[in-house]
Amino acid sequence: MRIGILGVAGRMGGELVAEARAAGHDVVGGTLNPASACPYRGDVPIMSLPALAARADVVIDFTHADAVAGHAEALSAGRAAWVLGTTGISVGQQEAVAVASRHVAILQAAHFGLGINLLANLARQLAALLPAESYDAEIVEMHHRQKVDAPSGSALLLGEAVAEGRHTSLSAVMESGRDGHCGARATGAIGFASLRGGQIVGEHALSFTAAGEQITLSHRAFDRGIFAAGAVRTASWLAGRPPGLYGIDKMLGLPPARDKDER
């Protein structure tokens, strides 16, 4: 398979190149962040996104949310499928992804590892069984100090799973960034706390806490190679599929999330 890497000079870009080659794929090219002053010292051919989209079967994207709308427009005109792992995407940027999915196959996920996606499915099941009036849902995540978005995409994935299990929307019940005299915790809220420091790859914990007990689901990533390996496996699955916006649950054969607009 011919794979293109967006942001090939970044930390994830290097991981993706190594994983794709280890899996026997041809990394046919990559793009660079135009704002980066660091020279690229790798051996992947650098080209424009339209040229890469015409040459690759699939492009993998872990770049910045600000680039998503432009990527969506360029990829819509090409033929390459799009594995999108960028997080912190706005409503308008997500609309651009949806428009692009009419023309190319896109698999968008906050996390490409098996563990966190299994955790999200467990979170959905627990949320459906534990009454929101009695069990307070709180999510704590910690990442490396360079991460620019909060809460993390994986934390939001867990929050969305809880909201789906409770038959509500995350936007209606999300509480994040409590500070000062913020009042009592709202019944049924899904709380988030984000920590940053050092070079932690990713830690997530979801707790359901009632008056008499607490249930906690947790996941720790030790190596960002799990993201790269999962993205390369996803690229293999996505190549050649018809246009549409796919979810990671479908690829993994997990029960689909409620009301997801995916094939």
Asked if 88 and 149 touch (Cβ cutoff 8 Å), the reply is yes
> Catalytic one among 143, 167, 204, 219?
143
d(CA 172, CA 152): 18
- Whether 111 is a known active-site residue: answer no
Q: Are 198 and 220 in contact (CB under 8 A)?
A: no
Name the region of 183 (left: φ>0; alpha: ψ -120 to 50; beta: rest). Answer: left
The HSE-up count of residue 226 (CA atoms within 13 Å, CB side) is 15
**Residue in 103, 147, 250, 260 annotated catalytic:** 147
147 is catalytic: yes
Task: Decide: 86 and 110 in contact? Cβ < 8 Å.
Answer: no
How far are the Cα atoms of 74, 182, 215, 230 from residue 251, in angstroms, in the given order? 25, 41, 28, 11
- For every residue of 153-213, DSSP letters joined together read HHHHHHHHHHHHHTTS-HHHHEEE---SS--SPPTT-EEEEEEE-TT--EEEEEEEE-SS-
Residue 35: name the closest of 5, 59, 67 by CA. 67
Q: Which residues pair with 165 in a beta bridge?
A: none
Closest CA to 108 of 231, 219, 225, 22: 231
Catalytic residues, which ones? 143, 147
